[in-house]
Amino acid sequence: MRRLAEHPFLLGFGAAAVAAAAAAAVMRGLFPHFAGWTGSGSFADIAGNLARRGLYSSNGRDLTLERMPLYPAILALAIRAAGAPWRVLAVALNAAAAAGAAGLATRLTARFYREAAATWACALLLAGHFAWTIEALSFRETAWFALALAALASALARERIGFGGVLLAGLAAGAGYLLRPTGFLLVAALPGWIWAARRALPASWGLCAALALAVAAAGILPWQLYAVRHFGGPVLEDTEGGNTALKGAVPAYWTLTPRVDYDLLDSWLVAKQLRTRAPGSNLQRDRAWRQDTLRAIAASPLNWAAKGACKVALLFSPVSVPLGYGRLQPAGDSVTVADFRVDPWAFASVPAATLILAGAFVRARRWRAAGAAERSLLAGLGLLVLGLAAVHGATLSETRYRLPFDPLFAILAAPVVARWAARLLPSSHEN
């Protein structure tokens, strides 16, 4: 046990890889349709058109800004490399990204605490986090975003940071931006995180922040040039932001929360929009949805604020949300959910997620006792969590939006959980 803890990256990577293989086997055995599950199908649609036609398009004809570009590009590489069985390669790549994030988190745990028990605790917490593992196996960007987050933490949560670490931080932040709509938070938090780690930097805070931001901007620039050239203007993220914000503002929010996935509202919202205006481009439709969102907020600001508080609570809930599945039925100007059924897997990660979230909270309260590297992690993660809560409080909230951050929470939780386990084990032997 102690010898394995001397190789923390391999321990975390191996435990997560075994968990991913086991979860895939279980899901494939219990649910045969899992082999064809795509998670968010638009990623695969764009990737297929990119690989076969060279078009960044979901329908094969019209260019799109519907998704951030990096994950469809990864899937397109898998399609070109593997051909027909590309799904197997894509799942393997996702599992490798998740295992890489777990390996980096476990290595950071060993670096911070230098305790074999804490190192093992981090690896086992992530390996036992079923919701995180299943999400990583879907064709979504979650695992890759987690890898970018873990790389960013590895670069900046150090006793001494060289120029290589500053460059890596900019690269990780830029990759995070290109992976997920909320990835802009990584770039926004970058100067603050670098300031928090200023005593470890190789040069002045301003120079290092400028260098990291320049690297991030260089990666982001092609996406913005694509948006300007084909859609007439830059974008903060993709063109699903208005759709997401509207889903969280309409009265139907309370009908769906926390039972079913908000994506069920998509066809209903599009149908409503088509009755009042021409479809237009992605960018035009997104702007129209944002205007509709502002009108929905103005109609009942207190109701919108209550929704925001509910969304933040759900975001950090150990129970996976949504809780199940159902069918959406239009009901006049609103909707109802029919044939709702609870998904028992929504509760599978409650033990691991509770330990991760509670342990991280306890450790964060003891920040005064933390070393310089751990304080850097606490500062950077704190900035990101505040931004995450603000964005999802204003738009939509599901467990999967928090999952990429759980490897970083697991780092903080690891020594706390190890102590809790040490207290319980003697009593279990006595009994």
Average pLDDT over residues 249-275: 78
Does any domain span residue 295?
A: no
Average pLDDT over residues 276-291: 72
Whole-number Cα distances in Å, 278 to 7, 204, 232, 270: 59, 52, 18, 11
Question: In this structure, are strands 334-342 and 324-331 parallel, antiparallel, or unpaired?
Answer: antiparallel
Q: What is the mean pLDDT of the chain?
A: 89
- Which of 205, 199, 189 shows the shortest CA–CA distance to 160? 199
DSSP assignments along 91-119, one per residue: HHHHHHHHHHHHHHHHHHHHHHH--HHHH
Q: What percent of the chain has pLDDT over 70?
A: 92
For residue 98, report the phi and psi dihedrals to the nearest 5 degrees. Answer: -65, -40
Give bridge partners of residue 327 from the DSSP assignment: 338
6 CB-near residues (< 8 Å, 6+ apart): none
Output the six-digit token pair for 332: 């006049």
Whole-number Cα distances in Å, 306 to 67, 310, 411: 29, 6, 32
* Cβ atoms of residues 240 and 40 within 8 Å: no
CA distance 240 to 246: 10
CA distance 135 to 155: 25
DSSP 34: G
Give bridge partners of residue 328 from the DSSP assignment: 337
- Looking at the whole model, is its pTM more than 0.75? yes
DSSP 325: E
* Cβ atoms of residues 58 and 29 within 8 Å: no
Does any domain span residue 91?
A: yes
294 CB-near residues (< 8 Å, 6+ apart): none
Q: Coil, strand, or helix at residue 307?
A: helix
Number of domains in the chain: 1
Q: Which residue has the tokens 């948006």?
A: 227
Average pLDDT over residues 400-408: 96
**Residue-wise burial string across 58-73, b where 16 or more C-beta atoms lie within 10 A, e elsewhere:** beeeebbbbbbbbbbe
CA distance 256 to 329: 11
Give per-residue pLDDT as tens, 328-382. Answer: 888 777 788 889 999 888 899 999 999 999 999 999 998 888 899 999 999 999 9
Does any domain span residue 278?
A: no
Does any domain span residue 338?
A: no
Give per-residue pLDDT as tens, 75-103. Answer: 999 999 998 889 889 999 999 999 999 99
Does any domain span residue 386?
A: yes
Give per-residue pLDDT as tens, 44-67. Answer: 999 999 999 999 999 898 899 889
Output the six-digit token pair for 135: 């999400």
Does any domain span residue 277?
A: no
* Cβ atoms of residues 28 and 35 within 8 Å: yes
Candidate from 135-139, 156-160, 408-412 with smallest mean pLDDT: 135-139
Q: Which residue has the tokens 């993220």?
A: 237
CA distance 222 to 224: 5
CA distance 415 to 111: 12
Neighbour count for residue 157 (Cβ, 10 Å)? 29
* Cβ atoms of residues 128 and 352 within 8 Å: yes
Q: Which residue has the tokens 């079913």?
A: 260
What beta strand segments (E) does 24-126 contain? none
CA distance 204 to 277: 53
* Cβ atoms of residues 100 and 402 within 8 Å: no
pLDDT bucket at 262, cuts 50 / 70 / 90: confident
Domain that includes residue 31, residue range: 2-235+346-430
For residue 382, report the phi and psi dihedrals to the nearest 5 degrees. Answer: -60, -45
Does any domain span residue 259?
A: no
* Cβ atoms of residues 129 and 353 within 8 Å: yes
Does any domain span residue 260?
A: no
Residue 429: predicted pLDDT: 45
